[in-house]
Chains A and B, each alone.
Chain A
Amino acid sequence: MSYFRITLHRSAIGLPKRTRGVLAALGLHRRSQVVFHPVEAQFAGMIMKVKELVKVEEVDRALSKRELQDSRKPPAGFYVERAVDRIRTGPSSSPLLKAALEAQQPQQQSQTQAEEVRL
């Protein structure tokens, strides 16, 4: 289902009440506000009434208010690293990797033993 993405580009100050009513019916109250309406003749007719004031695009889905806000945000400039899932070993995994993991395991065991001793 596709939607009209309607942006109020020009204000309706001083225009007839009918025009302002159409904008209110579309849910547009301030300039550069964005609303989404399904592609139907009913909404197309409303857009025709205010075609000089709005910018219209056809989009596949309607964005939520949160998504719209996020799309306007500048990039944060940093990112938080997340722990990556460990590589699972199995019979199909490469022998090199297996060997490397086996080499690591005794070290870990020795480390845990050392910690126990400290305690």
Chain B
Amino acid sequence: MFGPFRITNSLSGGLLWKIPWRLSPTQKARQRKRLRAVDQVVETLSNALAKKGETLKALERWKAEMPTEAQMLPRDKYTMFDRKAKRYRKGIHKLPKWTRVSQRINPPGF
């Protein structure tokens, strides 16, 4: 029962996924908060440049292509496309550095 050779789930040869397959409610809340923070930065930039009458290609493209947090579906906030996963979706927390990169849209047709 105790000692170095005790039977644990990982030692008995089974594949053990320790990463939950979905986000917890608090993780989801923090994810929404991060999405809103990025929206806020984009809004600040576009307002500041609009006052000066300047435009920025990267900014215009982001605003044209990316939905804001309020416009996004829960499905897109917490999961992402994966061609290898069953039903083509996996939890967004499987994405490396997922709290510091933007992942908002799906490939065409998905």
Interface of A with B (CB < 8 Å)? 2, 4, 9-10, 12, 14-15, 39-41, 44-45, 47-48, 51-58
Contacts and interface: CB of A to CB of B under 8 A. Distances in A.
A5 to B, nearest CB: 10
B47 to A, nearest CB: 7
Given A14-B97, A47-B41, A52-B100, A39 B49 contact: yes
B38 A51 contact: yes
Interface of B: 34, 37-38, 40-42, 44-45, 47-49, 51-52, 54-56, 58-59, 62, 97, 99-102
A58 B48 contact: yes
A60 B102 CA distance: 30
Given A39-B52, A52-B34, A52-B38, A44 B45 contact: yes
Contact of A44 (B34, B38, B56, B102): B56
B48 A45 contact: no
A60 to B, nearest CB: 12
Nearest to A52: B100
B54 to A, nearest CB: 5
B48 A51 contact: no
A85 B29 CA distance: 58
Given A15-B100, A51-B38, A4 B48 contact: yes
B45 A56 contact: yes
Contacts of A40: 52, 54
A41 B54 CA distance: 7
Contact of A55 (B41, B58, B62, B97): B41
A45 B58 contact: yes
B42 A41 contact: no
Contacts of A10: 99-100
